[in-house]
Structure 1
Amino acid sequence: METELCKAFPEFEVNPFPEEKDIVPGGKRKYIKPHSRNDPKLEALQTFLIDWINTTLKHEHIVVKSLKEDIYDGLVLHHLLEKLGSLTLEVEKIALTGKKQRLKLAIILQTVSQCLQLEESELKWDVDAIFNKDLLSTLHLLVAIAGHFQPELAVPPNVNVDVIDTECTSNGLKTADAVEYITKGRGPVEKCSKAEIFDELLTRAPEKMDAVKEVFLKFVNRHVGILGLNVKDIDSQFADGVILLLLIGQLQGCFLNLGHFFLNPGSLAEMVHNVNLAVDLLMDGGLLDVPINPEDLVNGDEKATLLVLYCLFSRYKTKGA
C-alpha cells in the first residue's frame, strides 16, 4: 500500500501519510494533506480542544497533550462522557492491552452514536480510525461531543482542511482531492464568544488597553472596597486568586466558605487551587464561555487576567453603579 501511495503522489519522496495505517480492501480514508497540517486554524482548533478537555477533566487529574496520541485508547473519552453526560459506561477504567482498548473504544463510540442519535452513515469516525490515531476522525468526534453536550461552547468556526479521499478498490487505489469541513461557520444570529470580542479589542485598539485597565480597576474596587481591599495593579494582584474569588462572591451575592480556598496562599499549588476554583465558578455561572488555563492567571498572563475581568465586567458592570 505504501508503494501505491507513493506512486499516486510522486511529488513526495516519502510516504505523505506516515501517521496513517494501511487501508483495508474496500475501505475508505480521508488524509489531511501535508500543507494543511500546519494551518493556523487547524492548530488553533487542536489547542482549543486540548484546553477544553483538560479544563473539563482537571479534577480527574487527566492531562491531554496530543489529540493524536492521547485519545485513541478510550481512556480520555470514557472520562469525558461520564463528566459531560453523567453516563456510567460498562467498560474497564484502564484497559492495558490493545485488544481490550479496542473493545472499550467500540463500546464508547457506540454510546456516542446513541447520545448524538446518529446513524452509521452520518458518522465521520469509526473504531479503526480512532484507534489508529487518525487526526481528522478524532477532531470530528471531539467537535461532535462538544457540540452535543456543551452547545454554548465557542468552538473555533470555519475550520477546514484540504484532504485526499482515498479508496482501496479491486482495481487499485482511487483518490480524489477534496475540502473537509471540521467546524461550521458562525451564522449571523450567533453570538461571538467573550474571548473573541476581547481579542477584537486587543487587535483593533491596543492603544486603548490602559483605558480599559482603568475601567476594570474602578469596577473591581467599587466592589472589593466594601471588604477594605484596594487593587492598584491588575497584572499582579489577581495571580493568587484571592481577590478574584472575593470579587466573584461580591458580584454574585454569595458567601465563599473560607475552608474552600486559601485566604493567604503560601505556595504556587495553593494559588493554582484558588484560581481553579474561580475559573470553575465562572464556567458554572456561564460567564466564561471558553476554556482557560488557570496557570496563565497565576503566571500573570495579561490577556488571561483581562479576559476574566472582562467576563465579570460585561455581566455586572451596572451592579452597584
Structure 2
Amino acid sequence: MEPGSVRPLTGWVALNQLPQEEDLVPGDKRKYIKASSQNGPKLKALQTFLMDWINTSLKHEHIVVKNLEQDLYDGLVLHHLLEKLGSLTVEVEKIALTEQKQRVKLAIILKTVSECLQLEESELKWSVDAIFKKDLLSTLHLLVSIAEHFQPELPIPPDVCVDVIIMECTSDGLKTENAVEHITKSRETPEDPSKAEVFDELLKRAPEKLDAIKEVLLKFVNRHVGKLGLNVKDADLQFADGVILLLLIGQLEGYFLNLGDFFLTPSSTSEMVHNVNLAISLLMDGGLLNTPINPEDVVNQETKATLLILYCLFSRYKSKKI
C-alpha cells in the first residue's frame, strides 16, 4: 500500500504494535514504530541507556526499570525521577492503585513536565493517553526530553531514528502513511575544535601511527593504574567494561569512586554500559570531553571511541606526576 492511501477498516491486518479497530475513532491520528525497526541496534542502545540512566538516578530509592513503556505508564517512576532530577514536589498520590487514579496522577506529572520544559501542547510528542497505553515511541520522546532538560551534558546516544507508520481514522477507513521519526538529535560539531576533531585529524593524517598512538596512551595509563596493581595490554578489550576507565579517572582526578556507584565485576552488557556511561559523564562534567560518545561503542570494543577517551585524559594529565 502506498503512503497516504486509504484502506477500509474491515479486513485490515495489523502490524506489530498497531491498534485494534476499537482503539481508533474517527479523527484519531497515531504514530507507531514499525516492527522492522523495533530491534534496530541504535533503538535498543537508546532503551538500554535510558533504563540505565533511570536506574542509576533512582538507585537509592530501590527502583529498577526493566522495560520502559511497561514500567513508566502509571507515573510512579516518572514521579520519583522528577523529584530527584528537578528537586520538584509534585502533589500527587505516592501510590495510585486504580486505573482512574493512575491516569489522573500521570496527567498531573506530564503537565508538570511540560511546564518545566516550557512546551506548548502542540510541541509535545507524547500524551497522557499514549504513555498510559504503553506506547514506546511516546515514552522515548518523553524521557529524552526530560534527560536533555535536567541533565544537558548526559551523553544520550545520537542519531536514533525509526521507521514509523502514521495511522488516521477517517469516516472512509484507515489512512496510513510511512515516515521516519527522529528520537534523538544528530551529533553536533562545535565551532571550536574539539579533542574529537583533533584526534580525528591525527588519525586521518597518520593512520600508520595508530599502533604508536596506542603505545603512548597505554604507557600513560599504566603509569597511573600500576599503583593499583593493574597492567593494561589491550586497549580495546580491557577498557570495554569501564572498570579500569573509572579507576583511572579516579586516580587522575584525585577522588575515590564509591563502589556502590559502579560494577567492579560487571556480569552483563548493561552493567558494562553503566560503567562506561558513568566514565563518560564524569569526563563531560569535568570538561575533559566535549563530544558525546556512545558507551555502546566502547563496550563493543570500537578502537576509535576507546582511544578518544584515553586521549582526552592524556591531553589533560600527560604531565601529572605519580
Aligned counterpart, 1:95: 96
Secondary structure of 1:87 counterpart: coil
Q: Are 1:114 and 2:147 matched, yes or no?
A: no
Tell whether 2:15 aligns with 1:16: yes
Alpha-carbon contact 1:29-1:165 (below 8 Å) kept: yes
Q: Closer, same or farther in 2 for the Cα pair 1:209/1:132, shift >3 Å?
A: farther
Contact 1:45 1:156 in 2 (8 A): yes
- Alpha-carbon distance in 1 for matches of 2:160, 2:246: 34
How far the C-alpha of 1:29 sits from its partner, in A, is 0.5
Show CA shifts across 1:111-166 (max 9, x none): 11001111111111100001101111111111211222222233233332222222
Partner Cα distance (1:56, 1:239) in 2: 20
Partner of 2:190: 189
Residues 238, 66 of structure 1: CA spacing in aligned structure 2 closer, same or farther, 3 A cutoff? closer
- What amino acid does structure 2 have at the position aligned with 1:231? N
Structure-2 residue corresponding to 1:231: 231
- 1:76, 1:196 → 2: CA distance? 39
Query: 2:3 is matched with which residue?
Result: none
Matches within 5 A, 1:204-283: 214-223=215-224, 231=231, 245=247, 247-252=248-253, 254=254, 256=256, 279=279
CA distance in 2, matches of 1:243, 1:182: 29
- The answer to whether the 8 A contact 1:102-1:127 is kept is yes
Percent identical across equivalent pairs?
Answer: 65
Structure 2 vs 1, CA of residues 281 and 36 (structure 1 numbering), >3 Å: closer, same or farther? closer
Separation in 1, partners of 2:60, 2:198: 29
Quote the offset at 1:105 in angstroms.
1.1
CA contact (8 A) 1:26 1:167 kept: yes
Change (3 A) 1:95 1:192: farther
Label 1:186 to 1:136 Cα distance change in 2 as closer, same or farther (>3 A): same
TM-score normalized by the length of structure 1: 0.69
RMSD value, Cα? 4.7
**1:27-38 equivalent positions in 2, closer than 5 A:** 27-38=28-39
Structure 1 residues 151 and 222: alpha-carbon distance in aligned structure 2, compared to 1, 3 A threshold: same
- Amino acid aligned to 2:137: L
Cα distance in 2 for partners of 1:49, 1:222 equals 35
Q: Which residue of 2 aligns with 1:160?
A: 161
> After the TM superposition, which of the residue ranges 61-70 and 310-319 deviates more from structure 2?
310-319
Could you tell me how far apart the structure 1 residues matched to 2:36 and 2:191 are?
Answer: 31
Question: Does the aligned pair in 1 maintain the 2:8–2:173 contact within 8 Å?
Answer: no
8 A Cα contact 2:74 2:103, kept in partner: yes
Contact 2:153 2:285 in 1 (8 A): no
What is the rounded CA distance, in whole Å, between the counterparts of 1:216 and 1:251 in structure 2? 14
Distance 2:156 2:319 in 1: 29
Distance, in Å, in 1 between the alignment partners of 2:108 and 2:177 is: 32
Residue 76 of structure 2: aligned partner: 75
Checking the alignment, whether the CA contact within 8 Å between 1:55 and 1:291 is kept in structure 2 is no
Per the TM alignment, residue 228 of structure 1 is displaced from its structure 2 partner at its CA by 8.3
Q: What is the DSSP-based 3-state SS (H/G/I as helix, E as strand, rest coil) of the residue aligned with 1:189? A: coil
Kept in 2, the 8 Å contact 1:146–1:153? The answer is yes
Match of 1:3 in 2: none
Alignment map for 1:34-49 (pairs within 5 Å): 34-49=35-50
After superposition, the Cα gap between the structure-2 partners of 1:224 and 1:189, relative to the gap in structure 1 and judged at 3 Å, is closer
What TM-score does the superposition give when structure 2 sets the normalisation length?
0.69
Cα-to-partner distance string for 1:273-295 (whole Å, 9 max, x where unaligned): xx79x8585575355756869xx
- With 188-197 and 167-176 compared, the bigger mean Cα shift is at 188-197
My pick for the range that moved more, 16-25 or 165-174, is 16-25
Q: Deviations over 1:8-67 (max 9, x none)?
A: 599x98521446461244221012222222333323322332233233333333222222
8 Å Cα contact 1:33/1:163 also seen in 2: yes
Taking a change above 3 Å as real, the CA distance of residues 137 and 57 of structure 1, as seen in their structure-2 partners, is: same
Match of 2:39, SS state, is: coil
Q: Which has the higher contact order (CA 8 A, sep 6+)?
A: 2
Q: Sort the Cα spacing of 1:215 and 1:145 in 2 relative to 1 into closer, same or farther, 3 A.
A: same
- Structure 1, unmatched stretches of 5+, are 1-5
Structure 1: how far apart are the matches of 2:265 and 2:88?
34
Report the equivalent of 1:178.
179
SS at the partner of 1:177?
strand
> Residue 174 of structure 1: SS of its match in structure 2?
strand
